[in-house]
Structure 1
Amino acid sequence: MKWMIYGANGYTGELIAREARKRGHQPVLAGRSAPKVESLGRELGLEARAFALDDTAALLRGLDGIALVLHCAGPFSATAKPMIDACIRAGVHYLDITGEIAVFEYAQAQSEAARKAGVVICPGVGFDVIPTDCVAAALKSALPDATHLALGFDSRSGFSPGTAKTSVEGLAQGGKVRRDGRIVQVPLAYSVRRIDFGDGEKLAMTIPWGDVSTAWYTTGIPNIEVYLPGSPSMIANARRANGFRWLIGLAPVQRFIKRRIEKTVKGPDEMLREKLPTHVWGEARNSRGTVRTARIKTSNGYSLTITGSLAVVEHLLQNEKPGGTYTPSRLVDAELVTRLPGSGAISIE
């Protein structure tokens, strides 16, 4: 079965392509820049294709003969929709490594079309959102009548250029939580609390992470928040930013910041990734006040994205699945994260 990595010349896409080649896979490498994907293709001895996502005819030609796409070209707010639409039309399974709430919601809205086409859609098969999705599923099993779910992670690795661009977009859009089954907008750093993610108690704030969308489809728990540790000054700055989000959201400002990111931001190298594990935490609560807490230590977020995305690719290549939209734990299983290199077991108290 022939499969493709689109965005293979980006920071994370290239890391995934190199690991896939080491494992004996022969993915087609693709992206918008012919010189970059062709150069990587020559180096790795892999087929390369160049096509843009804003040309539907070229996109469909680019997918010819492909059974599965692992989409790694962000920001996914701009790239996911055309690729998802083309994959459904072409009968190609779609995976990506997004963490963007809007992308998850769009993917879920296409579930019926995907079912009819026999296409699997599963966004978020990287650090966004495999670990937190598996923790959410484990907590749902531990407390089936939970009404509230909080998730979070403590990761100190730097940003890749794509992640940095996505964060700039997210800053302009403000915070998000799920209340009574609906995603609602809230201020940045809307809720602040102290949390022991697994490496000591830390001050943490809510962030608009992908699980605000995905954990609902995994668990059905109607109230969901996601937390990230932050210093008092970081939290204060996030709250101050609420007053000028409108400015950050202006198209010229977004373009300026993203150009700066392209010139200045580089993802963490292998040595740094190996030194920085991630602690993932979750807490479920029911209407009687019963609380269950889950924790797991995993590899660095970028390292987990490499091994996690390939684990899902391999699972889908080896297993027939009905068409439709999935979350990672529902496509594979809730133990997926525990089988990835650098991960321990999910402990529940």
Structure 2
Amino acid sequence: MITLFGATGYTGSHIARQLEKSGAPYRLAGRSGAKLAALAQTLPSHPPTLVADVSQLGTLTALVKETRVLINCAGPFTDLGEPVAQRAAAAGVHYLDITNELAYVARLRQFDSLARTTGAALVPACAFEVAISDCMVAVLTQEIGERLESVNVVYALPSGVVSYGTRFSGLRTFAVSWLGYRGGKLVRRLPGGKPRVGLIGQKPYAAVAFPSSEIITVPAHVPVQNVQAWLALSPQWAGVVGTLLPLVSVLLRTPLGWLTRQIFRYLTPPPPAAPPNAARWAIQVEAEANGQSFTRTARGVDPYGLTAEIAVYAAQKFLEPAFNRSGVLAPAQALEPQEFLAWLNNKSTNEPSHF
């Protein structure tokens, strides 16, 4: 049994439909029994539902009963994720989530010993963001065969295709995830600053530093001195955003942060109802080793659809009898990176032959 928590949210409903396609046994969980029932009625198998609410901790115990895998979509994870992951670790239930909230992913390491004891695998950031780049770095490191001096991950994302949940998750991340990885250790680092410039294919980019969870996941399995993630913007905007982002991140820690969240809620539109193939993305891994530079690029479409496919793929892998990994794991530690990228290369939501 796979339990999907946060099933009625934007991303959760994508994953529910993908679970239905997979044929794996699953159930839906979330705060609202009425919304869960409505979602279940839209799915041919009419899966069972379970009401659980992080604000009522006693209800979370049921999430890890009679299930082997828990997929968590209930964010912001910085505020809501730890009690859910802790219960999975204590119960020996495999856990994955779809977040890219860096501070939360860093804190989840506190459950590593417990998860190893019970045999649970806890895999945060197992989604479009982080899982793809993490596995790309693992494969590239094997190809290079040398210790890496630096890894830079550049995201070029479709504009406007961002759910409310992702926006609020991003605001919490900018407020609390002031982390970087330099000189082989975690350091304090504000988002933004001087843009990074380069090419994705033949197209120039200017990118600003942002707190992405590769800062935690990549050093967990790759010997590397420096790791940073970047968000590509149009060159004319990157300098402005790079200058303002540290100030905005500080502002989000003040009472004015509440006002900022309300502005995002009421003045920014929901994702457009555009065809999935209109939401094109690219992820580029840029590594340096022994004075040489290495680049690998992935391209595709529909980040939310791809997140659903990745989450279900991972959950099914965790159900396999041969799966015996435990502890808090990076996606590239929980999955076989070569196999995962080969699978991804054949998915309908991805442009082929780019890994």
* TM-score for both structures, normalised by structure 2: 0.89
The answer for the alignment partner of 1:239 in structure 2 is 243
In 2 relative to 1, CA 73–261 (structure 1 residues): closer, same or farther, beyond 3 Å? farther
The residue identity in structure 2 corresponding to 1:94 is: Y
Distance 1:114 1:267 in 2: 37
3-state SS of the aligned residue for 1:178? strand
Moved more, 130-139 or 230-239: 230-239
Q: Which moved more, 1:254-263 or 1:24-33?
A: 254-263
Q: Is the 8 A contact 1:98 1:126 kept in 2?
A: yes
The match for 1:322 among 322, 325, 330 is 325
Q: What secondary structure does 1:278 align onto?
A: strand
- Give the equivalent residue in structure 2 for 1:90: 91
Asked if 1:344 is matched to 2:331, the reply is no
Q: What's the offset of the Cα at 1:86?
A: 0.8
CA distance in 2, matches of 1:156, 1:163: 14
Shift of 1:77: 0.7
Give the 4+ runs in structure 1 shifted more than 6 A.
none
Q: Which amino acid aligns with 2:69?
A: L
Q: SS of the counterpart of 2:337?
A: coil
Q: Name the CA distance, whole Å, in 1 between partners of 2:272 and 2:26.
A: 24
Cα distance, 1:200 vs. partner?
1.3
Out of 214, 219, 224, the position equivalent to 1:216 is 219
Alignment counterpart, residue 180 of structure 1, candidates 179, 183, 191: 183
CA change 1:118–1:238 in 2 (3 A) is same
Structure 1 distance, partners of 2:174, 2:40, is: 35
**Match of residue 136 from structure 1:** 137
Q: Deviations over 1:221-270 (max 9, x none)?
A: 121011111133343134124235433222x4444444454555423546
How has the CA–CA distance of structure 1 residues 69 and 121 changed in structure 2, closer, same or farther, with 3 Å as cutoff?
Answer: same
User: In the superposition, relative to structure 1, how do residues 321 and 27 fare at CA in structure 2: closer, same or farther (>3 Å)?
Assistant: same
- Structure 1's 196 and 290: CA in aligned 2 closer, same or farther, altered over 3 A? same
Instruction: Label 1:255 to 1:65 Cα distance change in 2 as closer, same or farther (>3 A).
Output: farther
Report if the CA contact (8 A) 2:6-2:72 is conserved: yes
Q: Following the alignment from structure 1 to structure 2, what is the Cα–Cα distance between the partners of residues 268 and 112?
A: 43
Asked if 1 retains the 8 angstrom alpha-carbon contact of 2:96 and 2:122, the reply is yes
Q: Distance in 2 between matches of 1:256 and 1:42?
A: 37
Does structure 1 retain, via aligned residues, the 8 Å contact 2:73–2:98?
Answer: yes
1:56-205 equivalence runs, <5 A: 56-143=57-144, 144-157=146-159, 158-173=161-176, 176-198=179-201, 200-205=203-208
User: Contact 1:11/1:267 (CA < 8 Å) preserved in 2?
Assistant: no
Equivalent-residue separation in structure 2 for 1:85 and 1:187 (angstroms): 28
User: Cα–Cα, structure 1 residues 68 and 166, in superposed 2: closer, same or farther, change >3 Å?
Assistant: same
CA distance, structure 2, for counterparts of residue 6 and residue 49 of structure 1: 9
**What is residue 228 of structure 1 aligned with on the other side?**
231
Partners in 1 of 2:291 and 2:197 — Cα distance? 18
Aligned residue in 2 for 1:42: 41
Gaps of at least 5 residues in structure 2 are none
> Displacement, 1:69?
0.4
Give the number of equivalent residue pairs: 343
CA displacement 1:4-48 (0-9 Å, x = unmatched): 110000000001101211222331100112221122123321111
The 8 Å contact of residues 198 and 281 in structure 1, kept in 2 or not, is answered as: no
Q: 1:138 to 1:187 in 2, by over 3 A?
A: same
| Unmatched segments (≥5 aa) in structure 1 | none
Instruction: Tell whether the 8 Å contact from 1:188 to 1:239 is kept in structure 2 after alignment.
Output: no
Q: Which amino acid counterpart does residue 318 of structure 2 have in structure 1?
A: L
Distance in 1 (CA, whole Å) between partners of 2:314 and 2:274 is 22
Query: Contact 2:156 / 2:233 at 8 angstroms: preserved in 1?
Result: no
Quick one: distance in 2 between partners of 1:34 and 1:100? 27
Separation in 2, partners of 1:184, 1:169: 19
Q: Match for 2:293 among 281, 288, 291? A: 291
Shift of 1:310: 1.0
Contact 2:153 2:229 in 1 (8 A): yes
Percentage of matched positions with identical amino acids: 23
